[in-house]
Every structure is written in C-alpha cells, then in structure tokens.
Homo-oligomer: A and B are copies of this chain.
C-alpha cells in the first residue's frame, strides 16, 4: 500500500518533471515523419465527449457519431496547472457509432462500435503551425503521416479557444 502510493507520487513528480518533456512515458513517438499509433490511451483522461457535432447547417440523418477526446496525462496535468499546452501534448480522438434501443433503453444514445481513431500532436520544433493531425484508419494503420496543414489546422486555428484546441467543448479543460 505504502509502496504503491510512493510510486504514484514519484510518477506524478517525474512527468513532465525536471528531466524535461522527454521523461514522460505518454509522449508521442515518431518514426521518421510518421506518428506511431499511441498506446495506453484508453486509460488517459477524457477531456470531453460529444455526439453528432456538425459545422454546417446541412441536416444529416440520424444522431451522428460520438467523439471521445483523450489527452496524454502529463500534458493534461501541465495544462491544468499552467493553462498552456506543452510540446508533446497528444489528443486521441475515438469515434463511435451512436447506438439506441438496446436492452432496456427506450430513448437516448450510447457508444456503439468504434468507427475511427485519430490524433493531434503539438510539437513546435516539428510542425510549422505547432500542431499536426493524423488518421489511423480506425486503428488499422500503425503509423500515420500528418494530414496537410490546411485540411485540419485552418479551422482549429480559427475557432479553437486556446492554442488551436477546442477547449470550449471540453468540460475538463475549460473554466465553466
């Protein structure tokens, strides 16, 4: 009991502590220009979840998809402490179909099958805009090259509340 507490405290202290960002075990790993699919993210903090977000008035049929946005713990703690995203910040986005009328449910939606896996990474030395965005084809792709900058970043930069991140949609990051 005492040992595991000490160890937990040691982790919290080490990441992203005095050895710099490279000491945290949850930082992004690149092979050449490709981001390796993050591992262990299913236990990362969830910044926010949404259902069916859309940015145009064109009506779509059905409820849309659940978006679940994880954040690597060392960056999550740094952001909670400082309000800024350190280099190495990694968001993982999982998409799930919205399922309904299962079991005893008469209304509402829950997360069904996963339909997508994406990530964004902040690294000012590596990316001109500071951020890049990656698609893993719902997990089938072990490594992914960044999307072209205009494909994602223009909208993030114009509308993300803090440093190109949609903090306004994330209850665990924004100040309510």
Report A's interface with B, CB cutoff 8 A: 1, 3-5, 7-8, 10-11, 14-15, 19, 22-25, 42-43, 45-46, 48-57, 59-60, 64, 66, 68, 73, 76, 96, 98, 102-114, 155, 159, 161, 166, 168-172, 176
In the complex, chain B residues whose CB is within 8 Å of the CB of A43? 45, 73, 76
Hey, which chain B residues are within 8 Å of A45, CB to CB?
42-43
**Contact in complex: B51, A25 (CB < 8 Å):** no
Interface centre among A19, A54, A108 (most CB of B within 10 A): A108
* A26 nearest in chain B by CB position: B8
What is the chain B residue whose CB lies nearest that of A53? Answer: B108
Q: Which 10 A-B pairs have the closest CB atoms?
A: A52-B108, A53-B108, A54-B107, A50-B110, A49-B49, A110-B169, A4-B14, A111-B171, A46-B46, A43-B45
Q: Chain A binding site: helix, strand, loop or mixed by DSSP?
A: mixed
Query: When A43-B45, A96-B171 are in contact, do A108 and B11 touch as well, CB less than 8 Å?
Result: no
The CA of A161 and the CA of B5, in the complex, are separated in Å by 33
With A and B bound together, what is the CA distance between A55 and B35 in angstroms?
43
By beta carbon, the residue of chain B nearest A113 is B176
B residues near A112, Cβ cutoff 8 Å: 171, 176
Min CB distance, A15 to chain B, in Å? Answer: 6
Q: Tell whether, in the assembled complex, residue B11 and residue A4 are in contact, meaning their CB atoms are under 8 Å apart.
A: yes
- What residues of B have a CB within 8 angstroms of the CB of A10 in the complex? 7
Contact check, B169 vs A103: say whether CB atoms are below 8 A apart.
yes
A46 to chain B, nearest CB (A): 5
